[in-house]
A and B are shown apart, each in its own frame.
Chain A
Amino acid sequence: MRGRVLWRAVALALFLAFMLVPLLATVLFSVSTRWDRTIWPEGFTLRWWQAVTARSAFQDTLLNSLAVAAATVAVSVALVTPTAYWAHLRVPRAKPWIEFLAIVPFGLPGVVLALGLIRFYSGVPLPLINRPAILVAAYVVLTLPFMYRPLVNALEAVDARTLTEAAQSLGAGSWQTLLRAILPNILPGVVNGSLLVFSTVFAEFTLANLLIGTRFKTFPIYLVEFTRFDARQASALAVISFVVAWLASVLIIWLAGRGDRPRETLAAR
């Protein structure tokens, strides 16, 4: 009996150490005066944080990343929500096709998507290549699974058909039904998907690097440049990235916890 408790404690402790040590080390490194000769930092300072956040490039790249992430979320919500709702309710035969488009990105490496987009759009007279617009389009594709899945789950959970019939018997049109009756009810799914999309796009490096490169620098590109010449200031940037990803996950977990109650009542019914 004691042996069984012991292996579990060892497994969990090793897991915890492996996952947390790199994060804590990065945080501590970013506020250390010097930490390359001794086993504990020689002193603490906020100098690296002040230096890196004072740069105009820091603010520019942060704003660029926030803008691209927000634009991707906006396009994705506007594109996927009506589609998922309409297919769920009116055109079930379209579902496998939508599902297919939402699964392909799992098997599409960033480098391959970038190559395909460049190959096709450099031969087409559209103002897309080397513009932030193509980056947003690529991100919408990349994050399609993250937006579609939670939406479908939410639609299946709220009985969209009854809601729609109720709204329409009261005289609501299709768009009115979607915006005033369905959307408020599937909002947890929309928010969940949006947060996943946002945090993925905010941290994405490959497509940003290959599709636009230095013309429109995003935060991860700035971070990678810094790792090559100033480790301390790079560590502050890495901490910011971790905090953004962490905040998004915590919000998702918190929302899921709140969402438990209505699901329980549904199951009880």
Chain B
Amino acid sequence: MLPVLWQGMVTGCLYALGALGLVMIFKSSGMVNFAHGALAGLGAFMVYALHAGEAQWSWSAAVLAALASALVIAALTYGAIAPLLKRSDTTATIGTLGVGLIAQGLILWNFGSNIVRLDLPLPPFRFELLGMNVTAYDLAVMAATVLVVAFLFLLIDHTRLGITFRAASTDPFAAQVCGLSITRVHLFSWMVSSVLGVIAALLIVPTTFLSSTTVTTFMLQAFAAAVIGGFDSLPGSVIGGILVGVACNLFSFYVAPELLNAFLLAFMLASLSLFPGGILSKRMGSRV
């Protein structure tokens, strides 16, 4: 039982990292970014091209370059989505589907439909604890999740930009009346979300490998995590991620892995029946 729970926790942390990126954008603008997975996958492919391709950059240099590119791409994407967002959240949400297809097309155009390997530069370290095998990868995923959550907490609770973000996400109209720039807040959330997406993708691909669809597919579970946690709650998305990871692993192990998608849907419905806005939702009554 413990090894199954542990593996579920590790996978859950990955879902949580994916969900955090989705929630950042939803909190600031009320729209769901369906391009999150494809854009994150594009970032991971960039690391692959620079590190494992002909360029042969060091892993850290490749990651920094990918993160910088992700910021630029986030700004450009927001630039394309912003006019749609002025019309309605739904129009903008549909617009992100188009952005996702473009990102996926770019991946296919540059890298084809092959599946490639992209590992983290980790030592082959492992130990056993209470019957659980703990590897360097497991610890890296846990550590990255803790660091990301701590960073977001500091950023949102203790910086001027973060306070603006909270104000705009609580009441955009009041924030605008007070002279806060909503565009700046949106841009900030898109950029943070984009960086989180690349980090999540780099942690996901050592397990799933990298193709034009793997990160997008993985982000579907992250989406479920965000729904269960409360789409407008950052701590909720972490809790939702871990819950989804553990529940899915237990279900696959004890019941039937082939029914996993059906289980995930039932789990979401059951959670939303108990907590209509998600476990830690602040905007009661708004469902996603």
Chains A and B are bound partners: no
Q: Which B residues are closer than 8 A to A by beta carbons?
A: none
B-binding residues in A (CB < 8 A): none
